[in-house]
Amino acid sequence: MFIGRKNELDTLNFLWNKNIMSCALIYGKKYVGKTLLANEFSKGKKVIFFSALPSTAKENLSSFTKALFSCISPALHILPVLPDFETIFENISVFAKREHVVLIIDDFSNLYHAYPNILSLINNYMEKGVSFANSFILLLDSSSNFVENTLLSSSSPLYKQHLTAIKLSPFDYRETATFFPNYSPEDKALIYGITGGVPYYLAKLDQNAEIKNNIMSAFFLRNALFMETPTLIMKQELRELTTYNAILTAIADGCTRLNEIAERAGLETGLCVKYLKSFFYMDLIEKETPIASSDQKKSFYKISDFLFRFWYRFVFPNLSHIASGRIFLSYPTVVEDHLPAYMEDIFYEIVKEYFTKYCSLLPFEIKNIGRWWGKDEKDRIDLLATDIEHKRGLFGMLQYTGGRPMDISDLHDLKKESEKVTAVKEKYYCLANRSGFTDVLKAKAADDGIFLITLPQMYR
């Protein structure tokens, strides 16, 4: 069953229906659903599908030839030996004069690294739009670094062809919930917190199983679904996994400042920055700076991929327990008891998505959203959303683990803290709490236009 991606499908179908030579690019992290989207789009169409190999130009030429003739001459038992990639595109051009065809090249960076002239070759055929007009080229790749620095750079031969680029993101918290319609809001949020809305991970879980069984089968059995996933992904991109593991473990354990991460991992800060850059290229970590602050140096790092965040927080430190089978005894204390604290930051991400995507009641358009903190570590605001000039702002206090309804004192604390953000002149307030609110606070919020948000409300 194919879920979501309506906007992306609409874009691809719009380009297809123009009946002119077009080239589009779908990119995003591994397992985000690029190939699935391409297959959904190409249903009912004539398709040449080539998955590029991490190998030589010769091997890719042979594989590309097989993909070509399996589409245009599927009855052939003995395939012609094509001398070069130019001949492949000449065959596609001849075939396209008779029938509208989609050429899909998956893992395109593999082909580029084997044969860098492929970009110029595609560009040449796009410039011959008359003879090649009945074709649609769709490139897929997982390396954001390669895509943004090579395909989308101004020096790329495809740059002037107005290449349509679609960066595919994981599903948001509500889209993720559609995979588990019978789960409670808390369990839907937890599934989001361990998968990050990545379609491949969601499809592997059982929507009819209890949440604990899904977590155990995904991470804590000897043959768990995602036991090797982070390691396999990193092995494809990185060397020296020992150091990278140390860095991710440090961040997962709460070391968020550069000097804290470096010290925990046993690295000089300059060398640590080098390792962190690799994670940025892989979309595994991100750097957060305070909203509406002139001091952008006060930044911290966090693991942006939720499956990696969960794995390094709970799986990596307990690998010996998992291998020995003792995790069944220790799970309640080493995992289950700490899930609410883990979900605090996931709750923050969910609230951000709620305000940027689903809440239509705000009195201004959000242009910036995140957190605010001052020089003193005690000066901190859980959520701050502002307009483009930081003149109007929504200040939020978020609580997932408190276990009590928020009351009027929490609102007072939030208002007092908001006074420290002097750039924002027009202030609005919201409180988001898993455990709800007192009647006194509800009455005050109704009178003053304060936003009160519960987890079930964000899923309605």
Q: Residue 125 is part of a domain; what is its CATH number?
A: 3.40.50.300
Q: Are residue 215 and residue 330 in the same domain, yes or no?
A: yes
Q: Are residue 324 and residue 413 in the same domain, yes or no?
A: no
Q: How confident is the model at residue 294 (pLDDT cuts 50, 70, 90)?
A: low
- Residue that terminates a domain, selected from 133, 167, 201: 167
Q: How confident is the model at residue 403 (pLDDT cuts 50, 70, 90)?
A: confident
- Residue that terminates a domain, selected from 269, 302, 334: 334
Q: Are residue 16 and residue 148 in the same domain, yes or no?
A: yes
- Residue that terminates a domain, selected from 275, 309, 334: 334
Comparison of pLDDT for 96 and 286, the residue scoring more? 286
Q: Is residue 305 part of a domain?
A: yes
Q: Are residue 135 and residue 223 in the same domain, yes or no?
A: no
Which H, E and C letters describe the chain, residue by residue? CCCCCHHHHHHHHHHHHCCCCEEEEEECCCCCCHHHHHHHHCCCCEEEEEECCCCCHHHHHHHHHHHHHHHHCCCCCCCCCCCCHHHHHHHHHHHHCCCCEEEEEECHHHHHHHCCCHHHHHHHHHHCCCCCCCEEEEEEECCHHHHHHHHCCCCCCCHHHCCEEEECCCCCHHHHHCCCCCCCHHHHHHHHHHHCCCHHHHHHCCCCCCHHHHHHHHHHCCCCCCCCHHHHHHHHHCCCHHHHHHHHHHHHCCCCCHHHHHHHHCCCHHHHHHHHHHHHHCCCEEEECCCCCCCCCCCEEEECCHHHHHHHHHHHHHHHHHHHCCHHHHHHHHCHHHHHHHHHHHHHHHHHHHHHHHCCCCCCCCCEEEEEECCCCCCEEEEEEECCCCCEEEEEEEECCCCCCECHHHHHHHHHHHCCCCCCCEEEEEEEECCCECHHHHHHHHHHCCEEECHHHHHC
Residue 76: pLDDT above 80? no
Q: Which residues, at least 6 apart from 104, have a Cβ–Cβ distance to it below 8 Å?
A: 38, 42, 47, 48, 49, 50, 138, 140
Mean pLDDT of 228-241: 90
Q: Is residue 178 part of a domain?
A: no
pTM summary value: 0.91
Q: Is residue 248 part of a domain?
A: yes
Q: In the chain, pLDDT over 90 holds for what percent of residues?
A: 79
Predicted pLDDT of residue 145: 86
C-alpha–C-alpha distance, residues 386 and 208, integer Å:
40
Q: Are residue 323 and residue 373 in the same domain, yes or no?
A: no
Q: Is residue 344 part of a domain?
A: no
Q: How confident is the model at residue 38 (pLDDT cuts 50, 70, 90)?
A: very high
Q: Is residue 1 part of a domain?
A: no
The domain total for the chain is: 3
| CATH code of residue 257 | 1.10.10.10
Q: Are residue 134 and residue 77 in the same domain, yes or no?
A: yes
Q: Is residue 244 part of a domain?
A: yes
Q: Are residue 323 and residue 355 in the same domain, yes or no?
A: no
Q: Are residue 322 and residue 355 in the same domain, yes or no?
A: no
- What's the whole-number average pLDDT of the chain? 92
Domain limits at 317?
A: 209-334
Give the tens place of pLDDT for each residue, 333-362: 999 999 999 999 999 999 999 999 999 888
Copy the structure tokens of residue 283: 């979309």
Residue 291's closest CA among 355, 230, 201, 344?
Answer: 355
Cβ proximity of 311 and 229 under 8 Å: yes
Q: Are residue 238 and residue 324 in the same domain, yes or no?
A: yes
Mean pLDDT of 315-326: 93
Place of tokens 């908001």: 418
Residue 250: pLDDT above 70? yes
C-alpha–C-alpha distance, residues 143 and 167, integer Å:
11
- The highest-confidence range among 4-8, 135-139, 306-310, by mean pLDDT, is 306-310
C-alpha–C-alpha distance, residues 307 and 284, integer Å:
10
Cα 25 versus chain centre, distance: 17
Q: How confident is the model at residue 382 (pLDDT cuts 50, 70, 90)?
A: very high
| CATH code of residue 402 | 3.40.1350
Q: Are residue 220 and residue 307 in the same domain, yes or no?
A: yes
Q: Are residue 329 and residue 422 in the same domain, yes or no?
A: no
Q: How confident is the model at residue 116 (pLDDT cuts 50, 70, 90)?
A: very high
Predicted pLDDT of residue 129: 60
Residue 77: pLDDT above 80? no
Q: Is residue 200 part of a domain?
A: no
Mean pLDDT of 436-446: 96
C-alpha–C-alpha distance, residues 112 and 49, integer Å:
16
C-alpha–C-alpha distance, residues 390 and 367, integer Å:
9
Q: Are residue 227 and residue 128 in the same domain, yes or no?
A: no
Q: How confident is the model at residue 80 (pLDDT cuts 50, 70, 90)?
A: confident
Mean pLDDT of 413-421: 95
Residue 4: pLDDT above 90? no
Q: How confident is the model at residue 425 (pLDDT cuts 50, 70, 90)?
A: very high
Q: Is residue 109 part of a domain?
A: yes
